[in-house]
Structure 1
Amino acid sequence: MTRAIRIGGFSGYLGDRRSALDEAMAGAPCDVLIGDYLAEFTLAMLAARHRTDPSKGYVEYFLDQLRPHLGALAERGTKVVVNAGGFNPAGLAAAVRAMVTENGAPLRVAHVEGDNILSTVDDLLAAGHEMRSMDSGAPLADWGHRPIAANAYLGGWGIAAALRAGADVVVCGRVTDASLTAGPAAWWHDWRPDDWDRLAAAVVAGHVIECGPHAVGGNFSGFTQVPGMVRPGFPVAEIDADGTTVITKHPGDGGTVTVDTVTAQLVYEIQGPRYLNPDVTAHLDTVRLRQLAPDRVEISGATGSPPPPSTKVAMFAPIGHQIVVSVYATGLDVDEKVALVRAQAEALLEGVDAELDVTALGTAAEDPDRQWDATVQVRIMATAAEREPLARLSEGIGELFLSSIPGFFTDNAARQSSSPKPRIDYWPSLLAIDAVPHEVVLDDGTRIAVDPPPATEQPSQPTHPEPAPVALGETRRVPLGRLVHARSGDKGGNSNVGLWVADPKAWPWLRSLLSTEELRRLMPEAKDLDIVRHEFPHLRAVHFVLRGLLGTGGSSNLRVDPIGKAVGEFLRARHVDVPVELLERGPAAHG
């Protein structure tokens, strides 16, 4: 094809807006519609579902999303590519085929296999693959838990092969999020497996649109200036043959596409300037953004190099049980009230091998106008290997109404995790990419093997020296967020956060301000962690990885914000010294 391929998103996670495919079908025409349902956190949820019922383990509501549009998809020639297959892509593909047959629509369905390596873990270990943790470096043998799920991350060439063979709907399991876009782009433009720069550009485009409304203003720190935020739409990527991409959205939908909304997604959930995928390593530090028109942002300059010789493997195992209960402290002596609740919770777990976290959320107003202005939530979370001690904790908290703090109450109308639930731990590992099978299964049973990449290269993140101070002139102490945008997220047990400025004149100040030591000051919770710092001059961004902030992963840590989504907003609330000259440039300069 000579024209750009138009790829529209309609899902950014398991549980995203169910009507999004309806909205995409009603919007501007697209060549391919992609649905991203999987993340490390949601994989843990699906793993439990698959363990309970091996015939499931896929995203069942995708069938309800797809059913009304089978005829229109066939008529328009629009392709659909999803990773909704989860732990059972063959099962979901069979369900889609049955639905297509019942509807009479002439659609062909293929699925991609090979990511689920659970049945071969023992053989891989015996063959010398130690499956070391990407976080701790320890071999899998030291984990002490038996995995119930092990999924290798696949690239996009299986998707490309399925589309090339005539598939209209491609169901995947754990392909990388960006592969949902890179595969269709490679098919459409007939790229070679060693077209590194073009593949990198498609991976960058896929990274931008993989999280649905994120790219049009969802979860954006500048949300007060975004129109239609009650219901922001979903993004569209127009990817040209050379990889140059324009990010846009369906006309009339809520939200907006700006350099800042795209930057927010570029710095989201990355480990640094090298963005690793099974097909290519994308160099994010060469990327440039340009506002072409309202709701049209060009992404150019992406470069790529061969992918790493290994791919990521996500493993999950049950490690016990957990419980969460909330009570409330109101008015005076809040610190002492929280201390008493903590002591009573500890007494209920006395003699039990359990982990307890009691966290007060918020601060009581000094002279409150409303009762709720003086109320602090006290969150009690506990984990243990066995269920029974946690059940006793829940029962015991319920016995404190007459023997705890003054004003003790719980929100009985809220749905609470008042009974113990399974706790799932996460083990991110690496496996040689040529040890991972990668196959496409067509609707007639034909299998197409997907070759490993033609070359690999061990990647390394660049290093950036700590910044030198700059002359500030007259300053004013204000919240960092007065000038600075931020976006944060998770990568296993690590949290990342990118902070950037829209105003080019503010970049030297931001770069100088955000040293590693300053980040430790701004976020005391991270003061003893290993912190990695990188700079993105073209994006005017400083990026940090806070290693270990999230324990071993979002599915098992005890933080109230388990996957680090609000780390960036916390940092924006911290007060720093800002040159008055920058503050006086006005809101237009600050995005």
Structure 2
Amino acid sequence: MATANGPSNGHSNGASNGHQKRPVRIAGASGGFSDRQRAISSLAKLDIDVIVGDWLSECTMTLHGAQKVDNEKLRAAGKLMEEPIGLFDPTFIDNLSPALHDIQTKGIKVAVNAGASDTKLLAETVEAEVKRLGLDLKVAYVEGDEVTERVNQLIKQGEKFVSLMDGIELKDWGFTPIYAQCYLGGAGIAEALRAGADIVICGRVADAAPSVGAGMWWHGWDKEVDFDQIAGSLICGHLIECAAYVTGGYFSGFKRLIEQCENLGFPIAELYEDGSCVITKEANGTGGEVSVGTVASQLLYEIQGPLYYGSDVTALLEGIVMTQVGEDRVKVAGVKGRPPPRTTKVGLTAVGGYQAEFHVFICGLDLEAKAEWIERQIRYSAGDAAKELSCFNFTLNGYCPDNPRNQDVATCDLRVFVQTQNKSLVSKATLDVPGFNRWCMDNGLQGCPGWTLGNDQRQSEGKLYYEYYPTLLPQSEVQHRVILPWKNNKTIDIKPAAKMEEYQRDQPSYDTKDPIDLSKFGPCTRGPLGWIVGGRSGDKASDANIGFYVRKDDEWDWLRTVLSIDKIKELLEEEYKGGKVERFEIPGIRAVHFLLRDHLDRGFNSTSTYDTLGKNVCEYLRSKHVYLPNRFLHRGRF
């Protein structure tokens, strides 16, 4: 039998050996609430030491935070009669419970950010489940990420809280924050594990923080000096934080993995004492792969520049190197560390108003003219009421190919999207109530040829939406704490590193320093960039990041020469919003990275676009045509 404090598989751990030579094996069980529910149970059957997982995002944190505010209002009014739900990830217990027997028997540690806006309640729920199953596991939790009260105090004291996205001050945002939650690092998780915790429940720690905490605990790193090692663990955590993203999910080379795409394997990282790691995956008949391509893709996801900030350390990305060291095994090394920033990111949530949408389907020829006809009529029907809309967008989505093979492929969606603080304008999706739905319906019999409404009108009834404002909070203002319930709720205060640095909002940006004469690559064919270039993109509120990579060294010389800042602006065409574009290179994985400042329409919960998370910015750019060297094309396409 295992003890509650250590594994029973013959391995010592960081709690008893501060300089463990064996790497700690960390399994990534979740990248979000939409991940596979089998993960923890499957991974707990393997030879691993720690299971980590991420169930939160800016999207879910906004919703959980708003729900907590609503619950508090109901409780104050005496209308909340039972324990509230919806304040932490509702799928987590279903994922964890089947694995608890194996977790205890094998001495596996668990560290997750799933607590959202009530970490204590989730920890108590986990404790109750452990007892129900007759097990003996110690559950700790980390708090301090909720900073609403402190942020409001600082606002009253004149703190400007400048937006990380567009540089505006909070007073010019136009919305009133109702909730604030900041990002914590992994030091608290490490302390909880050192104190004997088996399961550590966190709220809004950074996505990579559970792996950082596991590495600090296992290897006994000193957070004041071991910046290179901790930086390596930060990048290791980043690579496995999104689960199957690093084993074939969202991979540009997905077509070669399609025969076993039904059940991609979850990742396992072997994190070494020097901060390097090897990324591998569960086998057991699962699909996907771990290759330099899949790992490079995940590295490029949601980074913001050559510096990767965490509350514990700052990692330098430009020197990273990836090497295929075996089947489904990629070594990641070369990460250097600098002291952490004096600040941490904090997200402010505000009620934005109400939004609704209406869809008209049109088909065949003259689509742009038909869309203009519909837009003119709907704007006419709205009249002066349109002045009360903060957003009134018409987007024609899709196209009709030449000589279409069937009617569906020739059909396009004209989406009408509105946002307003006047709920009455979008209050009902019925024909007899003045407002948005009626403006659209008014024109059915005056419509363009083929005007067809969608058969689900519920979308035209307004739903509440929230605005999200990312800014910075000094780490000195954060009360990072670990709570140990089995020790009479003993509290451990986690202080930030004594040595921290001030970093500029804008990171270093540059075009390639030694471009190659493109004529040396010989004859070319004009075609999609994605025929030979892989990539990944993502969002951080309204910023979009895109990373592109190639497979061969001579392709790298071509890529870094072709993909300049001006070239990206050109390829974006109508999508370029005029914002700043930042660029840097990672030679060790043959990659060029771009950050498009304020490119997206706000964040997930308020955007008016289809690409709510920025994931299709890369796919759009990979479809754009450039001149591709024929010798690269002869090697085969992605």
| TM-score where L is the length of structure 1 | 0.95
1:233 aligns with: 265
Q: CA deviation at 1:397?
A: 2.9
- 1:245-256 alignment, distance < 5 Å: 245-251=277-283, 252-256=285-289
Secondary structure of 2:548's counterpart equals: strand
Q: CA deviation at 1:358?
A: 1.2
Secondary structure of 1:340's counterpart equals: helix
Compared CA separation, residues 239 and 390, structure 1 to 2 (3 A): same
**Does 1:484 pair with 2:533?**
yes
**Does 1:419 pair with 2:461?**
yes
1:452 aligns with: 496
Instruction: Return the letter of the residue paired with 2:617.
Output: V
1:273 aligns with: 306
**Does 1:310 pair with 2:343?**
yes
**Does 1:79 pair with 2:126?**
no
Secondary structure of 1:148's counterpart equals: strand
Q: CA deviation at 1:48?
A: 3.2
Name the CA distance, whole Å, in 1 between partners of 2:153 and 2:586: 42
2:416 aligns with: 380
Q: Answer with 241-250 or 342-351: which moved more.
A: 342-351
Question: Does the Cα contact within 8 Å between 2:509 and 2:582 map onto a contact in 1?
Answer: no
**Does 1:568 pair with 2:618?**
yes
Q: Answer with 16-25 or 569-578: which moved more.
A: 16-25
Name the CA distance, whole Å, in 1 between partners of 2:411 and 2:444: 17
Q: Answer with 376-385 or 462-471: which moved more.
A: 462-471
- In structure 1, runs of 5+ residues without a counterpart are none
Secondary structure of 1:53's counterpart equals: helix
Instruction: Return the letter of the residue paired with 2:220.
Output: D
Question: Does the Cα contact within 8 Å between 1:289 and 1:300 map onto a contact in 2?
Answer: yes
1:364 pairs with 400, 404, 409, which one? 400
- 1:344-359 alignment, distance < 5 Å: 344-352=377-385, 353-354=388-389, 355-359=391-395
2:294 pairs with 261, 266, 272, which one? 261
- 1:114-129 alignment, distance < 5 Å: 114-129=144-159
- 1:140-151 alignment, distance < 5 Å: 140-151=170-181
- 1:453-472 alignment, distance < 5 Å: 453-460=497-504, 461-465=507-511, 468=515, 470-472=517-519
Instruction: Return the letter of the residue paired with 2:474.
Output: A
Question: Does the Cα contact within 8 Å between 2:141 and 2:202 map onto a contact in 1?
Answer: yes
Q: Answer with 13-22 or 192-201: which moved more.
A: 13-22
**Does 1:200 pair with 2:231?**
yes
1:551 aligns with: 601
Secondary structure of 2:64's counterpart equals: helix
2:7 aligns with: none
Name the CA distance, whole Å, in 1 between partners of 2:407 and 2:124: 55
Percent identity of paired positions between Structure 1 and Structure 2:
38
1:210 pairs with 236, 241, 245, which one? 241
Query: Which string of whole-angstrom CA distances, capped at 9 and with x for unpartnered residues, describes residues 348-403 of structure 1?
Result: 43213211111111111221121112101112211111122134212443454433
1:393 pairs with 423, 433, 436, which one? 436
1:297 aligns with: 330
Secondary structure of 1:93's counterpart equals: helix
2:451 pairs with 408, 422, 429, which one? 408
Instruction: Return the letter of the residue paired with 2:609.
Output: R
Q: Answer with 378-387 or 152-161: which moved more.
A: 378-387
Secondary structure of 2:452's counterpart equals: coil
Instruction: Return the letter of the residue paired with 1:22.
Output: S
2:41 pairs with 22, 25, 34, which one? 22
Secondary structure of 1:350's counterpart equals: helix
Question: Does the Cα contact within 8 Å between 2:526 and 2:627 map onto a contact in 1?
Answer: yes
Secondary structure of 1:208's counterpart equals: helix
Question: Does the Cα contact within 8 Å between 1:247 and 1:296 map onto a contact in 2?
Answer: yes
**Does 1:321 pair with 2:365?**
no
Question: Does the Cα contact within 8 Å between 1:488 and 1:567 map onto a contact in 2?
Answer: yes
Question: Does the Cα contact within 8 Å between 1:309 and 1:432 map onto a contact in 2?
Answer: yes
| Count of residue pairs the alignment pairs up | 586
Name the CA distance, whole Å, in 2 between partners of 1:416 and 1:495: 31
2:482 pairs with 414, 427, 440, which one? 440
Question: Does the Cα contact within 8 Å between 1:289 and 1:299 map onto a contact in 2?
Answer: yes
Q: CA deviation at 1:149?
A: 1.7
- In structure 2, runs of 5+ residues without a counterpart are 1-19, 73-83, 428-434
Name the CA distance, whole Å, in 2 between partners of 1:516 and 1:415: 43
Question: Does the Cα contact within 8 Å between 2:33 and 2:91 map onto a contact in 1?
Answer: no
Question: Does the Cα contact within 8 Å between 1:232 and 1:254 map onto a contact in 2?
Answer: yes
1:504 aligns with: 553
Name the CA distance, whole Å, in 1 between partners of 2:447 and 2:595: 41
Name the CA distance, whole Å, in 2 between partners of 1:29 and 1:398: 61
Q: CA deviation at 1:465?
A: 3.5
Name the CA distance, whole Å, in 2 between partners of 1:341 and 1:400: 8
1:526 pairs with 568, 576, 582, which one? 576
Question: Does the Cα contact within 8 Å between 1:236 and 1:250 map onto a contact in 2?
Answer: yes
1:513 aligns with: 562
Q: CA deviation at 1:39?
A: 1.5
